[in-house]
Amino acid sequence: MTKVKFCGVSRPCDIEAANELRPEYVGFVFATGSHRCITPEKAKELKQMLSRDILAVGVFVNEMPEKIAYLLDNGIIDIAQLHGHEDEDYIQSLRRLTNKPTIKAFRIESKKDLEAAECCIADYVLLDSGAGTGTTFDWKLIKSIRRPYFLAGGLSLDNVKEAITMLHPYAVDVSSGIETDKLKNKAKMTAFIEAVREEGQV
Protein backbone atom coordinates (compact mmCIF):
# COMPACT_ATOMS: atom_id res chain seq x y z
CA MET A 1 0.00 0.00 0.00
CA THR A 2 1.20 3.51 -0.82
CA LYS A 3 2.62 5.30 2.21
CA VAL A 4 1.73 8.86 3.21
CA LYS A 5 3.85 11.82 4.29
CA PHE A 6 2.24 14.92 5.79
CA CYS A 7 4.89 17.56 5.17
CA GLY A 8 5.22 20.92 6.85
CA VAL A 9 3.60 20.11 10.17
CA SER A 10 4.33 22.88 12.64
CA ARG A 11 1.84 22.86 15.53
CA PRO A 12 0.91 20.49 18.35
CA CYS A 13 -2.55 20.08 16.81
CA ASP A 14 -0.91 18.89 13.58
CA ILE A 15 0.90 16.18 15.56
CA GLU A 16 -2.31 15.21 17.35
CA ALA A 17 -4.02 14.79 13.99
CA ALA A 18 -1.10 12.75 12.64
CA ASN A 19 -1.12 10.49 15.69
CA GLU A 20 -4.79 9.81 15.07
CA LEU A 21 -4.57 9.36 11.30
CA ARG A 22 -1.28 7.42 11.24
CA PRO A 23 0.62 8.54 8.15
CA GLU A 24 3.95 6.74 7.90
CA TYR A 25 5.86 10.05 7.84
CA VAL A 26 5.56 13.68 8.87
CA GLY A 27 7.85 16.44 7.67
CA PHE A 28 9.48 19.23 9.68
CA VAL A 29 10.67 22.05 7.41
CA PHE A 30 13.97 23.68 8.38
CA ALA A 31 14.36 25.74 5.17
CA THR A 32 14.30 29.37 6.28
CA GLY A 33 12.58 30.64 3.14
CA SER A 34 9.42 28.64 3.87
CA HIS A 35 6.45 29.87 5.89
CA ARG A 36 6.37 26.33 7.32
CA CYS A 37 9.89 26.62 8.74
CA ILE A 38 10.33 25.66 12.40
CA THR A 39 13.30 25.78 14.75
CA PRO A 40 15.16 22.71 15.97
CA GLU A 41 13.75 23.45 19.43
CA LYS A 42 10.20 23.40 18.11
CA ALA A 43 10.89 20.24 16.14
CA LYS A 44 12.18 18.54 19.29
CA GLU A 45 8.99 19.49 21.13
CA LEU A 46 6.80 18.16 18.31
CA LYS A 47 8.86 14.97 17.93
CA GLN A 48 8.36 14.18 21.60
CA MET A 49 4.60 14.32 20.99
CA LEU A 50 4.75 12.17 17.85
CA SER A 51 3.82 8.50 17.89
CA ARG A 52 6.85 6.24 17.66
CA ASP A 53 5.22 4.50 14.71
CA ILE A 54 5.54 7.67 12.59
CA LEU A 55 8.91 8.77 11.22
CA ALA A 56 9.89 12.43 11.30
CA VAL A 57 11.57 13.74 8.15
CA GLY A 58 13.62 16.94 8.31
CA VAL A 59 13.44 19.03 5.13
CA PHE A 60 16.59 21.03 4.34
CA VAL A 61 17.88 23.29 1.57
CA ASN A 62 21.69 23.47 1.28
CA GLU A 63 22.20 23.03 5.03
CA MET A 64 25.53 22.19 6.65
CA PRO A 65 25.83 18.40 6.95
CA GLU A 66 26.94 18.72 10.57
CA LYS A 67 23.67 20.40 11.56
CA ILE A 68 21.62 17.70 9.85
CA ALA A 69 23.65 14.93 11.45
CA TYR A 70 23.13 16.50 14.89
CA LEU A 71 19.35 16.51 14.46
CA LEU A 72 19.40 12.92 13.19
CA ASP A 73 21.68 11.53 15.86
CA ASN A 74 19.80 13.29 18.66
CA GLY A 75 16.46 11.81 17.62
CA ILE A 76 14.85 15.10 16.61
CA ILE A 77 14.35 13.70 13.12
CA ASP A 78 14.65 10.18 11.69
CA ILE A 79 15.35 10.93 8.02
CA ALA A 80 16.92 13.90 6.19
CA GLN A 81 15.24 15.20 3.03
CA LEU A 82 17.54 17.29 0.84
CA HIS A 83 15.84 19.88 -1.35
CA GLY A 84 18.72 22.06 -2.52
CA HIS A 85 21.80 21.58 -4.67
CA GLU A 86 23.17 18.73 -2.58
CA ASP A 87 25.20 16.42 -4.84
CA GLU A 88 26.58 12.91 -4.44
CA ASP A 89 29.65 14.20 -2.58
CA TYR A 90 27.39 16.01 -0.14
CA ILE A 91 25.38 12.85 0.53
CA GLN A 92 28.58 10.90 1.06
CA SER A 93 29.84 13.50 3.53
CA LEU A 94 26.55 13.30 5.42
CA ARG A 95 26.85 9.51 5.54
CA ARG A 96 30.27 9.83 7.11
CA LEU A 97 28.64 11.78 9.94
CA THR A 98 25.54 9.63 10.48
CA ASN A 99 24.09 6.31 9.35
CA LYS A 100 20.52 7.63 9.23
CA PRO A 101 18.70 7.55 5.86
CA THR A 102 18.39 10.35 3.32
CA ILE A 103 15.82 11.40 0.74
CA LYS A 104 17.04 13.50 -2.18
CA ALA A 105 14.45 15.64 -3.95
CA PHE A 106 14.49 16.10 -7.72
CA ARG A 107 12.57 18.64 -9.75
CA ILE A 108 11.27 16.70 -12.74
CA GLU A 109 11.12 18.66 -15.98
CA SER A 110 12.68 16.20 -18.42
CA LYS A 111 13.89 12.62 -18.81
CA LYS A 112 17.37 13.84 -17.88
CA ASP A 113 16.07 14.78 -14.43
CA LEU A 114 14.62 11.31 -14.07
CA GLU A 115 17.93 9.71 -15.02
CA ALA A 116 19.66 11.70 -12.28
CA ALA A 117 17.10 10.48 -9.76
CA GLU A 118 17.54 6.87 -10.88
CA CYS A 119 21.29 7.04 -10.28
CA CYS A 120 21.26 8.97 -7.00
CA ILE A 121 22.96 7.27 -4.04
CA ALA A 122 20.43 8.58 -1.51
CA ASP A 123 18.32 5.95 0.25
CA TYR A 124 15.15 7.37 -1.31
CA VAL A 125 14.31 9.94 -3.96
CA LEU A 126 11.43 12.41 -4.03
CA LEU A 127 10.07 13.53 -7.39
CA ASP A 128 8.56 17.01 -7.38
CA SER A 129 7.55 19.94 -9.55
CA GLY A 130 9.66 22.35 -7.49
CA ALA A 131 10.31 23.43 -3.92
CA GLY A 132 6.86 23.82 -2.45
CA THR A 133 5.16 25.22 -5.53
CA GLY A 134 1.93 23.29 -4.92
CA THR A 135 1.64 22.30 -8.57
CA THR A 136 1.93 18.96 -10.34
CA PHE A 137 4.38 18.03 -13.08
CA ASP A 138 3.95 15.78 -16.11
CA TRP A 139 3.58 12.38 -14.48
CA LYS A 140 4.14 10.63 -17.80
CA LEU A 141 7.82 11.54 -17.45
CA ILE A 142 8.27 9.17 -14.52
CA LYS A 143 6.24 6.13 -15.55
CA SER A 144 9.44 4.25 -16.43
CA ILE A 145 11.30 4.82 -13.15
CA ARG A 146 12.58 1.61 -11.61
CA ARG A 147 13.30 2.63 -8.03
CA PRO A 148 10.77 3.38 -5.26
CA TYR A 149 10.08 7.08 -4.80
CA PHE A 150 8.10 9.69 -2.93
CA LEU A 151 5.71 11.56 -5.23
CA ALA A 152 5.23 15.24 -4.39
CA GLY A 153 4.02 18.42 -6.03
CA GLY A 154 0.42 19.57 -6.10
CA LEU A 155 -1.11 16.45 -4.59
CA SER A 156 -4.57 16.79 -3.05
CA LEU A 157 -7.76 14.88 -2.44
CA ASP A 158 -8.72 15.68 -6.04
CA ASN A 159 -5.83 13.88 -7.72
CA VAL A 160 -4.14 11.49 -5.28
CA LYS A 161 -6.20 8.46 -6.35
CA GLU A 162 -5.31 9.10 -9.99
CA ALA A 163 -1.64 9.42 -9.04
CA ILE A 164 -1.62 6.10 -7.20
CA THR A 165 -3.50 4.29 -9.97
CA MET A 166 -1.22 5.65 -12.68
CA LEU A 167 2.16 5.53 -10.93
CA HIS A 168 2.06 3.26 -7.87
CA PRO A 169 4.57 5.40 -5.94
CA TYR A 170 6.21 4.15 -2.77
CA ALA A 171 4.77 7.17 -0.94
CA VAL A 172 2.79 10.34 -1.59
CA ASP A 173 3.97 13.58 -0.02
CA VAL A 174 1.38 16.29 0.62
CA SER A 175 1.62 19.75 2.16
CA SER A 176 -0.45 22.58 0.65
CA GLY A 177 -3.09 20.04 -0.41
CA ILE A 178 -4.03 19.52 3.24
CA GLU A 179 -3.95 23.20 4.23
CA THR A 180 -6.39 26.06 4.62
CA ASP A 181 -4.89 29.55 4.80
CA LYS A 182 -1.38 28.01 4.96
CA LEU A 183 -2.16 25.93 8.04
CA LYS A 184 -2.81 22.19 8.23
CA ASN A 185 -6.51 21.33 8.20
CA LYS A 186 -7.49 18.14 10.00
CA ALA A 187 -10.54 17.53 7.80
CA LYS A 188 -8.36 17.71 4.68
CA MET A 189 -5.70 15.52 6.28
CA THR A 190 -8.36 12.94 7.10
CA ALA A 191 -9.91 12.98 3.64
CA PHE A 192 -6.51 12.70 1.96
CA ILE A 193 -5.29 9.70 3.92
CA GLU A 194 -8.66 7.96 3.60
CA ALA A 195 -8.48 8.41 -0.18
CA VAL A 196 -4.98 6.87 -0.28
CA ARG A 197 -5.99 3.89 1.82
CA GLU A 198 -9.21 3.38 -0.10
CA GLU A 199 -7.29 3.33 -3.36
CA GLY A 200 -4.82 0.85 -1.89
CA GLN A 201 -7.63 -1.62 -1.19
CA VAL A 202 -9.06 -1.58 -4.71
Marked catalytic residue, from 14, 78, 128, 173: 128
**22 close to 1: Cβ distance less than 8 angstroms:** no
The SS3 of residue 151 is strand
How many of the other CB atoms lie within 10 Å of CB of 20?
Answer: 12
Catalytic residue among 7, 14, 78, 173: 7
128 is known as an active-site residue: yes
Alpha-carbon distance of 143 to 165, in angstroms, equals: 11
> How many Cα neighbours within 13 Å face the side chain of 195?
21
Catalytic site includes residue 173: no
Structural contact between residues 42 and 50, judged by C-beta atoms closer than 8 angstroms: no
- Please tell me what DSSP assigns to residue 37: B
- Catalytic residue set: 7, 128
